[in-house]
Amino acid sequence: MLIGLATPRLSSSQSRELPELVRHTISFRGMPREYFLHLPPGVDGAKSYWGLVVVHGAGDDGRARFPNRAMARFVTESGLDAMVISPSFSNDDYNASRFPGLGEGEFLDEILNDVRSRYALKPRMFLTGYSRGGQFSHRYALAHPERVAAVAPLASGTWTTPDGRFLVEGLGEITDVRAFLADSTNASRVPDNLRDLFQARVAPVAQVKAAPGARNVPYLVMCGTLDPRLPIAQEFARSLQSLGYEVSVEWPRTPHGCEDAACWNEYRTEFEKYLSRTVDFFRQVALRR
């Protein structure tokens, strides 16, 4: 059965093909929090590596099979000199990781500081994420372009364009976000997984415009052709192009997610395009620097 929300679920046998990620903990705002790290083979202590941050989807954590562990596999096979960094973001407060300014952006900054205390990372990171992770990644890059070398947001349920337009799955652009989110009856118009957008703290961060220099960050935007989120992904990509951003796109033939092995087996090759295309995109950016 196909579903519209869950990220792809790999079977146990498929999971064994993927690298393990090493768990680390840090204290953030007085609470223990975790992230996962995958190092390239034969780490050289005298060498500076790319930090490649992968943000999981709703309900998962930093060791999710897709995209986190699967992305680590593709990074290793590509030979990209990158450390894969996978935060475990909040599953109690989805808005905190949809909108980095509500807290999880600072959590990511602390994770990067912790990794830098052990290894040499380049000043700017590669950033990607699927579903809710795509929401975080594009907004973080728009807000902090000085920290991001390239970004690949994948299959996001909402988008904020560089000029501050707010796009929502199933509705497209919301022209008056404050009024829309202030009316709780509008919650019935959005998918169930987005109904927690109707909180007073969301509107001020939903339409934040890009910071100066954001146009210098290259984008790869991807979404499945069978995914109801495709129209807003395409609109976001058009907004980037119209504003002079460097943007590449690809639309694999996938639903948003799978809940069983049969679905995954049917669409596996297409789902893997999110990984292979993203890694290739980051490799091309790395070669230019």
pLDDT value at position 10?
47
Give a three-class secondary structure readout of the chain: CEECCCCCCCCHHHHCCCCCCEEEEEEECCEEEEEEEECCCCCCCCCCEEEEEEECCCCCCCCCHHHHHHHHHHHHHHCCCEEEEEECCCCCCHHHHHCHHHCHHHHHHHHHHHHHCCCCECCCEEEEEECHHHHHHHHHHHHCHHHEEEEEEECCCEEECCCCCEEECCCEEECCHHHHHHCHHHHHHCCHHHHHHCCCCCHHHHCCCCCCCHHHCCEEEECCCCCCCHHHHHHHHHHHHHCCCCEEEECCCCCCEECCHHHHHHHHHHHHHHHHHHHHHHHHHHHCC
Q: Which amino acid is at 11?
A: S
- What is the model's pLDDT at position 259? 85
- pLDDT tens-digit series, residues 77-134: 999 999 999 999 999 999 999 999 999 999 999 999 999 999 999 999 999 999 999 9
Question: 46-74 pLDDT, tens per residue?
Answer: 899 999 999 999 999 999 999 999 999 99
* pLDDT single digits (tens) 6-38: 455 544 444 457 999 999 999 999 999 999 999
pLDDT of residue 7: 56
pLDDT in tens, 172-193: 999 999 999 999 999 999 999 9
Q: What percent of the chain has pLDDT over 70?
A: 94
Residue 232 sits at φ, ψ, to 5 deg, of: -75, -30
Which of the four pLDDT bands, split at 50, 70 and 90, describes residue 5? Answer: very low
- Determine how many CB atoms are found less than 10 A away from the CB of residue 184: 9
So where are the chain's domains? 21-287
Q: Look at residue 159 and tell me whether its pLDDT is greater than 70.
A: yes
- Look at residue 47 in the predicted model and tell me its pLDDT: 92
Write down the pTM of the prediction. Answer: 0.93
CATH number for the region 21-287 comes to: 3.40.50.1820
Residues paired with 168 in a beta bridge: 158, 172
Q: Which of 146, 145, 128 is nearest to 137 (CA)?
A: 128
